[in-house]
Amino acid sequence: MAASAPSYASGTATTPLLGETVGGNLERTVATHADRPALVERATGRRWTYAELNRDVDAVAAGLLAAGVAKGDRVGIWSPNCAEWLLLQYATAKVGAILVNVNPAYRAHELAYVLNQSGVRLLVSATSFKTSDYRAMIDQVRPDCPALDRVVYVGDASWDELVAGGAEVPADAVRQRLAQLSPDDPINIQYTSGTTGFPKGATLSHHNILNNGFFVAELQRWTHEDRVCLPVPFYHCFGMVMGNLGATSHGACVVIPAPAFEAAATLRAVHDERCTVLYGVPTMFIAELNDPDFDRYDLSSLRTGVMAGSPCPQEVMKQVIDRMGMREVTICYGMTETSPVSTQTRVDDSLHRRVATVGRVHPHVEVKVVDPESGLTVPRGTPGELCTRGYSVMLGYWEEPERTAEAIDAARWMHTGDLAVMDEDGYVTITGRIKDMVIRGGENIYPREIEEFLYTHPDVLDAQVVGVPDARYGEELMAWVRLRPGAEPLTAERLREFCRGRLAHYKVPRYVHVVDEFPMTVTGKIRKVEMRERAVEILGLDAGTAGDTASS
């Protein structure tokens, strides 16, 4: 019997990589599709053709030059989805500034860390959104952010002043700066939750993100006729790379249904704008399918899209294909550090492939599955750690060479920390995680970051955080805590109150379990596997129970 092939796959492709900057690519698209629709913002009714989009991008870029933004300077963006987010994305790319994405759910503690760690000089922010008063939080942290020279707020006079300042620079200044840029220059920093208690800034180049966005769209067979509905956040690769860059590299139109996800607004946008493409994590599609007015919307224009962020239940995939008409919907797998996509299903893959796997290797990318101990590639069908290599691997973590070296080995393989199996046809199934990352509703959460924060609670002696199953979000957070002697009982509500306003909402534990000791191995290591197993029993989740539970 022949030995099984090694779990290695290389993404051969007839379409070459793009060897240009983000700004250069946009200008090439504009030259071909100047009069075609480029951007629709549903909340305000504003619309841009490609010529109009490029004009406004250049105006913002000129404003950045007038503000003294140099190549390599960091410009932050802290806002839910809006047209200005996209304008700033391309304007910073044209002047060679590094766009620093700040999660709209962050609170003051996280904001201050990101601004200081990346050295943001100019921050563009919303004034507020939902319960977040961005202006107040910026005022709170600004004295502790010495590099921050200027704050500009979308929708008020400061944004208009930034743009108007561009009139002071020569007409060809943006072109001149663009000509000085290389595709390999860093252009974007995206923060991922870190195991050291603070997020790490994955630093990405023009080459990284332009090509990844382009090939994600290529595998969905996009053309300039496509209209792309993006309810996913721009601060994440899903929105700004797979969405925005996928669209502009193909001359397609971006439709922003709302500042943040709303099922009804998304369905209405598809209906009114005749969108052909829809993105989302499984929880978004579930919400759309369960919208009480679902049957009133005409979704017949939909053809394809991407579902990513967490595994897709088979019944949900069936309904997305049958009820939403997305016959060519694809599944993507990746991580911020790989720009993000490494594997993707194809538009003609079977239903089974789309729910049981995360597809096969992307064009111009390599993937392999290795034994975590020896580092050797395992035979197909054997579980191991998934690694990926190619143009998409980040430049590194911003100013953290030691953390970079832990993630990217000497041969430039990115170690994902995910356990995977590759089948004989090259399709990859994710079976677990070596790291203890929790995926809640598409958000990647590293428990260590939350544990470090919980240690600041005056009654908490020690804390461990694990993910537990949840029907709606895939996983929810459960904190196991040891209390200091004489401390008052700690309920889930009391802990949530402590976290509120200081941690992003999705990082706040839903459940609390007070213990005297944690399960440990004989060598003193915390047994999180056992904690997760016991959590299911404690919370009655195996019986379908889900509620705000505190136990002791």
Q: How confident is the model at residue 365 (pLDDT cuts 50, 70, 90)?
A: very high
Q: Is 176 in the same domain as 210?
A: no
pLDDT, one tens digit per residue, over 216-249 is: 999 999 999 999 999 999 999 999 999 999 999 9
User: Domains in the chain: how many in total?
Assistant: 3
Find the mean pLDDT for residues 364-393: 96
Q: What is the pLDDT of residue 421?
A: 95
CB–CB of 191/202 below 8 Å?
yes
User: Could you tell me if residue 485 is inside a domain?
Assistant: yes
43: pLDDT strictly greater than 80 = yes
Higher pLDDT, 493 or 35: 35
Residue 43 resides in a domain? no
For residue 446, what pLDDT band results from cuts at 50, 70 and 90? confident
pLDDT attached to residue 84: 98
Position 18 confidence tier, pLDDT thresholds 50, 70, 90? very high
396 and 448 part of one domain = no
Do 409 and 442 belong to one domain?
A: no
Asked if residue 252 and residue 300 are part of one domain, the reply reads yes
Per residue in 82-110, pLDDT (tens digit) is: 999 999 999 999 999 999 999 998 999 99
At residue 527, does pLDDT exceed 50?
yes
DSSP codes joined into one string, 23-51: HHHHHHHHHHHTTSEEEEETTTTEEEEHH
Query: Once rounded to an integer, what is the mean pLDDT over residues 109-135?
Result: 96
pLDDT in tens, 130-153: 989 999 999 999 999 999 999 999
Q: What is the pLDDT of residue 435?
A: 66
CATH of the domain at 404: 3.40.50.12780
**pLDDT tens digits along 281-302:** 888 998 999 999 999 999 999 9
* 172 and 216 together in one domain: no
Same domain as 410, residue 446: no
DSSP 215: H
How much is the pLDDT for 305? 98
pLDDT attached to residue 144: 96
Is a pLDDT exceeding 80 seen at residue 507?
yes
Is the domain of 319 the same as that of 173? Answer: no
- Asked if residue 158 is part of any domain, the answer here is yes
187 pLDDT exceeds 70? yes
Instruction: Give residue 147's domain range.
Output: 48-181
* Residue 369 counted as domain residue: no
Burial of 292 (0-12, 13-18, 19+ CB in 10 A): exposed
User: How many Å apart are CA 161 and CA 139, to the nearest integer?
Assistant: 20
- pLDDT above 90 for 452: no
Which amino acid type is present at position 242?
M
| 304 against 431, higher pLDDT | 304
The CATH number given to whatever domain includes residue 118 is 3.40.50.980
Min mean pLDDT across 358-372, 441-455, 535-549 is at 535-549
- CA dist 186 and 206 (Å) reads 7
Does the residue 377 lie in any domain? Answer: no
Confidence at residue 521, expressed as pLDDT on a 0 to 100 scale = 56
DSSP state string for 150-208 = EEEETTSHHHHHHHHGGGGS-TTHHHHHHHT--TTSEEEEEEE--TTSS-EEEEEEHHH
Q: Can you tell me whether residue 63 is helix, strand or coil?
A: helix
DSSP secondary structure letters along 333-386 = EE-GGGSSEEEE--TT--HHHHHH---EEPTTEEEEEE-TTT-PBPBTT--EEE
Q: Is the pLDDT of residue 176 over 80?
A: yes
| Mean pLDDT of the residues in the chain | 93
Which pLDDT score, from 0 to 100, does residue 2 have?
A: 61
pLDDT: which is higher, 392 or 490: 392
Q: Which of 312-321, 428-437, 501-510 has the lowest mean pLDDT?
A: 428-437
Please report whether residue 113 resides in a domain: yes
In this structure, are 175 and 210 located in the same domain? Answer: no
Q: What is the mean pLDDT of residues 255-268?
A: 97
The answer on 159 and 90 residing in a single domain is yes
Q: Kindly state whether residue 390 falls inside one of the protein's structural domains.
A: yes
**Quick one: average pLDDT of 316-330?**
96
- CATH code of the domain covering residue 480: 3.30.300.30
Please check whether residues 344 and 232 belong to one and the same domain.
yes
Residues 406, 442, single domain; the answer is no
| Tokens coding 533 | 């197993």
Per-residue pLDDT, averaged over 378-401, amounts to 97
| Residue 462: pLDDT band with limits 50, 70, 90 | confident
In a domain, 18, yes or no: no
Specify the higher pLDDT residue, 232 or 439: 232
- Asked if 63 and 141 sit in the same domain, the reply is yes
